[in-house]
Structure 1
């Protein structure tokens, strides 16, 4: 479960376009033996939009999270750390 609780925080900056975005993901257990992939995105420094997608297993949620991370990295997002 340690892996599921890990937050992934990605950022994308392009000063020429005044683009300062973030994308945050984490997997957390639900109350009905399900798992949620929680995503938040928006402009750095502002509240973001939140979406939860539900999965039957932790493994499926982690796979979905990894696919999103890879897609965002292809668009120029980088891990903040």
Structure 2
């Protein structure tokens, strides 16, 4: 599952991105990988580990909603869960 978000383009602010990626790990858990930064430059990457996929999906949706409130817009999504309608 993957969600890629960007801010709206403006002359005052550089274009920023926020990328959420959910992936299984080798020991039957799940990792939520978050990458953010200025478009065209190297971003900051953080990972969170979860034992259950449902918990990882809830956190992904929560993080997405936080970024939507900050002015980001979903540009691309892949493998969306049931309640990822925004």
Alignment partner of 1:47 is 2:42:
yes
Alignment TM-score, normalising by the size of structure 1: 0.86
Alignment partner of 1:36 is 2:54:
no
Number of residues paired by the alignment? 76
Q: Could you report, residue by residue, the CA deviation over 1:18-70 in whole angstroms, capped at 9, with x for unpaired residues?
A: 23100000110011111000000000011111111000111110000000000
Larger helix proportion of the pair = 1
Calculate the aligned-residue CA RMSD, in Å.
1.2
Q: Counterpart of 1:64?
A: 59
Is contact 1:13-1:19 (8 Å) kept?
no
How much has 1:14 moved relative to structure 2?
4.5
Alignment TM-score, normalising by the size of structure 2: 0.82
SS in 2 for 1:19: coil
Which consecutive unaligned segments of at least 5 residues does structure 1 have? 1-5
Could you list the structure 1 runs, at least 4 aligned residues long, displaced by more than 4 angstroms after superposition.
none
